[in-house]
Structure 1
Amino acid sequence: MASPTFSAVNSKELIDVVDVCIRCYADASEEKINLIPGAYRDEDGEPWVLPVVLDLEKKLVQSVTYNHEYILFLGTDSFKTLAPRLILGEESPALRTGRALGIQTVGGSGALRIGAELLVRHAKYDTFYISEPTWDNHESTFLYAGFSTSRKYRYWDPVKRGVDFEGLIEDLREAPENSVIVLQLCAHNPTGCDLTKKQWTEVADVMEERKLFPIFDAAYQGFASGDVEEDAWAVRYFVDRGFEMLVTQSFSKNMGLYGDRVGCLTVVLKEGRQKELASVEFMLTIIARAIYLCPTRHGGEIVVRILRDSEARKQWLESLRKMVERLKVARQSLKERLDELGTPGNWNHITSQSGMFSFTGLTSKQAAYMADEHHMYLLPNGRANICALNDNNVDRFAQAVHDSITME
């Protein structure tokens, strides 16, 4: 039997990302600023365990019932009840009428992977659209799930440094019927640019007309506005419009549970199809078992206890608002420094964007200059994690940005 041949990944973009990550982590300079990771950092550049999470973990491990046993394939009943309510709303008509269900997954990535395979294997979809640009794992997740055709809709306008809404709508109008459209709910990764409510209604109009299937990636609920209810508006609007859809949630960012890998996949069917949910749940069970058997216990318990207990939930939301406010302060500080330096260009997009990331507008050449000359690392496409900035380094970073733009 012949030995298998393994071909290398042929993606310059991915290779460039890996290269800059390797260079960053190998750089021992005290001047280094790492703006690459998709994770929150505090004012000292350190990971932050939310106080309510730390308190609940202590109580959890001290409990006489604490153990490391498996949980059910699709998560506990408490999780499957509480997590969908967070995104769909306590009074969601879809939940109230029994035409929606949620399952616990291994992070938001697991939710995307299981949802994608459900659509391919059991609903026979074959074409999906992602925004240009988007999170670099979206495309491979859907392709590995079995989708045959990957397409993109315009999203970023490099001239106005905002959403290319006209291009987005035009691309959706031209999408074949029954295409799956991946929509980032809020705090868009990597651009930090979100749609307005009016724009979401226009997107819904086109998708309804063209018979397009939405899958909302809600990786950053609460991280855009600081309000989990406000950030969920688009999903709830689509439900009210009668769309069938998938919604994927992650508790990595808004609860800081990165390494615990806690996510949720919610399926919403149209009115009158409630009886089909049992079959859908069985399909999801088969897919989940084939990929990872069952989700994680520890992180799921933390999420349930936060969402179930009113005081814990209050503490969590306060911490979430604290993170969002610090990001807003960092954005404002950076913009002010760039304006004071007279850095060429308009930097209003820094503060108009939301969430953890800023699509700075820097070119790959300028990003490379930042790394080579200033030990400051961002992705080659110019995406920077704003929470890497603080009072101790924002001046140096702004000066480096200024230098990279004026170096010629």
Structure 2
Amino acid sequence: MSAQQHSAFGAAEYIPPDPIFEVTKRFNADQNPQKVNLGQGTYRDENAKPWVLPSVREAEKLIGNAGHEYLPIEGLQSFRDEATKLLFHDTSALKENRIASCQSISGTGSLLLAGLVLRKANSGIENIIITDPTWSNHDLLFKEIGFNVVKAPYYKDRSFDFESYIGALKKADKRSAVVLHACAHNPTGCDPTHHQWKQIAAVIKENGIFPIIDSAYLGFNSGNYDEDAWAIKYIIEDLGLEAAICMSFAKNMGLYGERVGLTAIVTKAEDAKRTVFSLLQNAQRQTVSNPPVYGARIAATVLGNSELLKQWHKDLVTMSSRIRSMRKKLYDELVRLGTPGDWSHIVNQTGMFGYTGISKPQIERLEEQYHIYMANTSRISLAGLNDHNVEYVAKSLDEVVRNVQ
């Protein structure tokens, strides 16, 4: 390159790779047969293999070769209808036609659309409150589109720090939105009780905070979709609040690579829905133009077929039950070994993830010596455990807790 030519990237700074995906990369490169991946949040069966849900397999057979034409900007109509009915079936918001929806690129895309709509609506919202800790994309995404991200303390002494969290909400700027985890808090696995949810929602209403509800694990958490959606229903139905519900079908249908999501915004009145829908369409057009079709067809087929819907609810129970079983087995094995410390938080937490609370040197020892991989925050995906490796993981944990600070 001559002296007169300058690179457009000469002043660019290297951005380190995403740490969770790096954990998976190291795991995949490891040739040790005993290796265990407790890092990435994907469901695995009892043999540590990806599991295609029976309901999804049948849906794919029914779809056949449906073609590859563009979808409308807002996505597949049947998917939007079925996903909206699934969540809001018993609400006044659905009956009164107050829900604007748009298919999204899974959960990340759904959150992006929600944030962009708040920007385009001239809402006056400048701050996005997230839990500390939270899923890393919450921080990255909302900062990228110009919001101030405010962290509210959420986790202390291996449990939900309710007093600190609600205290932060009470002090929040009036020009704020808050990202709530509908269930299965990522990464802690610590959810509010119904009573705590009511108190949180009351503060949100009193302070005029707009709720953005990240709903990535509905049905996957407890095995009961409506139970996992309890906080959503309470906020929009009992309190009558506007809200953006950001749905993903990655976890609860196993459609990770198909990127199937929905942004559903509940408005105060039907006339506002039309405006919000136009904002969703505009945000979608500016970012991805229109969403992919195949995964949406699968989800729409599962939700719209009574037999497949029944099977899907059974699939949810299968996944959630196995994860709860692994929590109990890991805890029981640590107790049997007499591993120093109180490990009850393992069974008190819920959902796919949990915090072990071990130190970074202990995490490094687990990876280097025992080929057990997890996030450097000590978050583990319980889906990576099974009857073949849970004793090995417990014994390895026991060793590092005893011998590494």
State the TM-score, normalized to the length of structure 2: 0.95
Aligned pairs (5 A) from 1:169-188? 169-188=166-185
Aligned pairs (5 A) from 1:172-211? 172-211=169-208
Q: Could you tell me how far apart the structure 2 residues matched to 1:19 and 1:286 are? A: 34
Q: Could you tell me how far apart the structure 2 residues matched to 1:256 and 1:61 are? A: 19
Number of the residue aligned with 1:77: 77
Q: Could you tell me how far apart the structure 2 residues matched to 1:8 and 1:210 are? A: 40
Q: Secondary structure at the match of 1:384?
A: strand
Q: Secondary structure at the match of 1:253?
A: helix
Number of the residue aligned with 2:365: 369
Aligned pairs (5 A) from 1:3-18? 3-4=7-8, 5-9=11-15, 17=20
Corresponding residue to 1:49 among 39, 46, 52: 52
Number of the residue aligned with 1:132: 132
Bigger Cα displacement from structure 2, 138-147 vs 378-387: 138-147
User: Is residue 2:292 matched to residue 1:299?
Assistant: no
Cα contact 1:95–1:101 (8 A) shared by 2: no
Cα contact 2:24–2:40 (8 A) shared by 1: no
Q: Could you tell me how far apart the structure 2 residues matched to 1:252 and 1:79 are? A: 14
Bigger Cα displacement from structure 2, 279-288 vs 162-171: 279-288
Number of the residue aligned with 1:325: 321
Cα contact 1:104–1:262 (8 A) shared by 2: yes
AA in 2 matched with 1:97: E
Q: Provide Cα deviations, 1:171-209, integer angstroms capped at 9, x if missing partner.
A: 111110121100011011111111111000000111111
Number of the residue aligned with 1:248: 246
Cα contact 2:333–2:394 (8 A) shared by 1: yes
Number of the residue aligned with 1:30: 33
Number of the residue aligned with 1:220: 217
Q: Could you tell me how far apart the structure 2 residues matched to 1:292 and 1:350 are? A: 40
AA in 2 matched with 1:373: Q
Q: Secondary structure at the match of 1:254?
A: helix
Number of the residue aligned with 1:396: 392
AA in 1 matched with 2:56: V
Q: Could you tell me how far apart the structure 1 residues matched to 2:353 and 2:381 are? A: 5
Q: Could you tell me how far apart the structure 2 residues matched to 1:34 and 1:196 are? A: 30
Q: Provide Cα deviations, 1:192-232, integer angstroms capped at 9, x if missing partner.
A: 11111100000011111111111000000012211001011
AA in 2 matched with 1:60: I
State the TM-score, normalized to the length of structure 1: 0.94
Q: Could you tell me how far apart the structure 2 residues matched to 1:404 and 1:16 are? A: 22
Corresponding residue to 1:258 among 256, 259, 263: 256
Q: Secondary structure at the match of 2:115?
A: helix
Q: Secondary structure at the match of 1:238?
A: helix
Q: Could you tell me how far apart the structure 2 residues matched to 1:96 and 1:15 are? A: 42
The alignment covers a number of residue pairs equal to 396
Corresponding residue to 1:356 among 352, 358, 379: 352
Instruction: Give the CA deviation at 1:16.
Output: 5.1
Q: Provide Cα deviations, 1:295-343, integer angstroms capped at 9, x if missing partner.
A: 1111111111111111110000101100111111111110000000100
Instruction: Give the CA deviation at 1:391.
Output: 1.3
AA in 2 matched with 1:3: S
Instruction: Give the CA deviation at 1:9.
Output: 2.8
Instruction: Give the CA deviation at 1:15.
Output: 6.3
Q: Could you tell me how far apart the structure 1 residues matched to 2:22 and 2:100 are? A: 41
Cα contact 1:84–1:101 (8 A) shared by 2: no
Q: Could you tell me how far apart the structure 1 residues matched to 2:117 and 2:193 are? A: 30
Q: Secondary structure at the match of 1:128?
A: strand
Cα contact 2:127–2:177 (8 A) shared by 1: yes
Q: Could you tell me how far apart the structure 2 residues matched to 1:78 and 1:231 are? A: 23
Q: Secondary structure at the match of 1:276?
A: helix
Change in Cα spacing, 1:274 to 1:51, as seen in structure 2 (3 Å) is: same
Q: Secondary structure at the match of 1:321?
A: helix
AA in 2 matched with 1:92: T
AA in 2 matched with 1:55: E
The unaligned stretches of length 5 or more in structure 1 are none
Instruction: Give the CA deviation at 1:368.
Output: 0.9
Number of the residue aligned with 1:39: 42
Q: Could you tell me how far apart the structure 2 residues matched to 1:43 and 1:407 are? A: 30
Aligned pairs (5 A) from 1:263-302? 263-270=261-268, 273-302=269-298
Q: Secondary structure at the match of 1:137?
A: helix
Instruction: Give the CA deviation at 1:357.
Output: 0.9
